Structure 1
Amino acid sequence: MFQKFAAMFLALVLPLQGAAETPDQQPRRHKIGYGLMFSNDLLGDGKDRWRTGAVTSSRIYGQVWQGQAPVGFGELLELRFQGQILAPADLVVANPADRPWAGVLTVELNSHMQRRGTEISLGGGLAVLGPQTQLDEMQGWFHDLAGAPQPSDAVLNGQIGNTFRPVISAAVGHSFSLSNHAALRPFVEARAGDETYLRAGVDVTYGQLAQGGLLIRETVTGQRYHTLQGEATGLTLTAGADIAYVAKSAFLPETSGYSLEHNRHRARLGLRWQGQGVSAFYGLSYLGKEFSSQSEGQLTGALQVQLRF
């Protein structure tokens, strides 16, 4: 399954690369940015449960970066790849009241635009769920390496089955300057496919590192990670909160008796440092309850480190 998914992934990447420029032509789309973020509850409350871990990477394709996204649809493209594991609180003893184990691999192609200061993202992709992702084997291998409990057969036998889900998404945000260093950015976003929801929220930044770059929102924690960076250096503090109405979730199928919490809340803090050739981000997110029998919310950490040569 990994080989098939990698082949599909490369098929999407390679046509986007193109040549940089020829004397008689406009510059062609090529790779101009990259971002990678890890999120894991071991970096938060350390309890290894529910939204337990994800890796998200984005490759940005366009022409010369001008400090903001272009106006036209399709001029700046983001190829996003994510692997995510969702798990019950107890990996050994199966609990029918807890959420089922789930592994999902997602690939998405998004177009980023900016019109009159409003940032717009539109895109779609494919989510692959179930044992075919082999993420259950990967978690078992990592837990064995770390000496942590491995998912038992009883837990994995109840995991979300093999399925493919087309995904579409849209997001709109607008930044308002509060001072030379502070900005407020309300946003709305919608998604359908693996999960179907409408979300509204706000992000606040204090510092200059958000200026002149392109930030992508990680779907699990809500933290935003850099794929294109501005020239400023130093520290930036970020904070945010949002609420979503969730209509459906492939990870909590109501046909199997799971009762969704339709109102889903998140809150987050983060700190980013950027030097001349290296930058780092750590964020902490509170994720509210996602299903009725979930006992409480959870704290999840997010980490990004970038090197520039």
Structure 2
Amino acid sequence: MKKAVTMFRLFAGQPFGKTVLSLIALLVIGLIGMTHSASAQAREKLGYGLLLTNDTLGDFEDRWQTGSITASRIWGPAWMGELPTEAGAILELRSHGRVIGPSNLVYFNPDDRRYAGIVSFGLHTHFQRGGADIALGTDLVMTGPQTGVSQVQTAMHDIMGINPPSQSVLSNQIENGFHPTFVGEVGRGYSLGSIAEVRPFAELRVGDETLGRVGFDLTFGQYGQGGLLVRDPVTGHRYEVIRGGQDGFSFLLGGDLTQMESSIYLPESTGPEMEETRARLRAGGNFQRGNLSLFYGTSWLQEEFEGQPEGQFVGATQLKFSF
């Protein structure tokens, strides 16, 4: 399936694939340069965030986007309650591990999606320009048996007495590979009185999956105000890496629509075809009191491949103690 998606053509008359390599190269060079230019400023550790996602926290199944863990560590100048205007002043080191699986881990089904073990490490920066929040970064995404993800899942399933992935499923998993990936997001918050904020955003991802996405986040309460939130790639929830807001409960809603160009997790050569459009809807809540912050959210993910019988619900959770 080779259909050009015009929204991804960054320059008139230039094929998207050539522009991808240029973007990634320029971003890597730019991040290195920004890190060097910002190194004169005193830098300190500003925050840490860890988000767990699992479909057993959503629809109590073990399939498709079945589980992930994402960790972020933030360094920069003393935090003043808002993003700096200089790109590279705030740096985020991000690590991510994920399992994607078929609906049946025992019997291989060529019409279901293939098993994938994923590990990635990346460098990102966050800043603001003209009232908009901007996040830019690169990740090195690794796939296949080399990641060790399947061994970890097998060990955990053995401990819990659940059937682990069979040899037939693992022998047909996504192959070993290294996939440089660019991620960029632009968003802007608009106050809806004293109790709510809506934040439309747009995202571009190029690499392991090439896509364009537009959506919104709606917050009732203080969650994230004066702090920094980072978006999870699976559920779309934003998790806290620099604490902000006030004690109390916040309610969160959001959604986005994605136009897909390609995905290494749904290759054209084998298995079912990728759906070219995807939607996500999400809701969650955050409770904050003193040094404690607790977040839980659930996301509905629309079908991602042709033949997928239904969407799925994936839960996300974060527990933080501040000292």
- Same fold per superposition (TM over 0.5): yes
RMSD: 1.6
Q: Does 1:281 align with 2:295?
A: yes
Matches within 5 A, 1:176-191: 176-191=190-205
Structure 1 CA distance for aligned equivalents of residues 163 and 209 of structure 2: 29
Give the structure 2 partner of residue 270 of structure 1.
Answer: 284
* 8 Å contact kept, 1:209–1:233: no
Cα distance, 1:68 vs structure 2 = 1.1
- How far off is 1:257 after superposition? 4.4
Q: Give the counterpart letter for 1:152 in structure 2.
A: S
- More displaced, 113-122 or 157-166? 113-122
Q: Contact between 2:113 and 2:271, CA under 8 Å: does it hold in 1?
A: no
Runs of 4+ in 1 over 4 A off after TM superposition: none
1:261 aligns with 2:306: no
In structure 2, the partner of 1:241 is: 255
**Structure 1 partner of 2:311:** 297
Q: TM-score, normalised by structure 1?
A: 0.91
CA–CA separation in structure 1 for the residues paired with 2:126 and 2:43? 14
Q: CA deviation at 1:26?
A: 6.5
Amino acid in structure 1 at the alignment position of 2:131: G
Give a deviation string over 1:45-68, Cα, whole Å, max 9, x none: 011000000000000010100111
What SS does the corresponding residue of 1:48 show, helix, strand or coil? coil
Residues 174-218 of structure 1 show CA distances to partners (whole Å, capped at 9, x for unaligned) of 000011010010000000111000000011000012210100000
In structure 2, distance between residues paired with 1:286 and 1:163: 29
2:261 alignment partner, SS class: strand
Stretches of structure 1 that go unaligned for 5 or more consecutive residues are 1-16, 18-24
**Alignment correspondent of 2:44:** 30
The Cα shift of 1:255 comes to 1.9
Distance 2:101 2:59 in 1: 15
- Please state if 1:128 is matched with 2:121: no
State the secondary structure of the residue aligned to 2:152.
Answer: helix
Native 8 Å contact 2:185 2:201 kept in 1 = yes
1:54 aligns with 2:57: no
Percentage identity across paired residues of the two chains: 44
State whether structure 2 residue 239 is matched by structure 1 residue 228. no
SS of aligned partner of 1:255: coil
One of 137, 141, 151 as aligned partner of 2:151: 137
SS in 2 for 1:282: strand
| Cα distance in 2 for residues equivalent to 1:211 and 1:31 | 19
Q: Which amino acid aligns with 1:182?
A: A
1:111 alignment partner in structure 2: 125
Name the structure 2 match of 1:45: 59
Q: Does 1:216 align with 2:239?
A: no
State whether structure 2 residue 63 is matched by structure 1 residue 63. Answer: no
2:52 is paired with a residue whose SS is strand
1:206 is aligned to 220
Residue 14 of structure 2 corresponds to none
Q: CA–CA distance in 2 between the matches of 1:171 and 1:90?
A: 35
Corresponding pairs, count: 288
CA deviation digits over 1:89-131, x for unaligned, max 9? 0000110000000001011111100123210011112000000
Of the three residues 99, 102, 105, the one matched with 1:88 is 102
- Aligned counterparts of 1:142 and 1:198: Cα–Cα separation in 2: 35
Deviation per residue, 1:119-176 (Å, 9 max, x gap):
0011112000000001001000001111111100011010001000001111000000
Contact 2:224 2:245 in 1 (8 A): no
The one-letter amino acid paired with 2:98 is Q
Equivalent-residue separation in structure 1 for 2:271 and 2:162 (angstroms) = 30
CA distance in 2, matches of 1:227, 1:117: 21
1:246 is paired with a residue whose SS is: strand
SS in 1 for 2:269: helix
Distance in 1, matches of 2:304 and 2:245, equals 39
Offset of 1:30 from its aligned partner? 2.3
Measure the CA separation in 1 of the matches of 2:212 and 2:252.
23
Long gaps (5+) in structure 2 = 1-34
* 2:258 and 2:278 in contact (8 A); partners too: yes
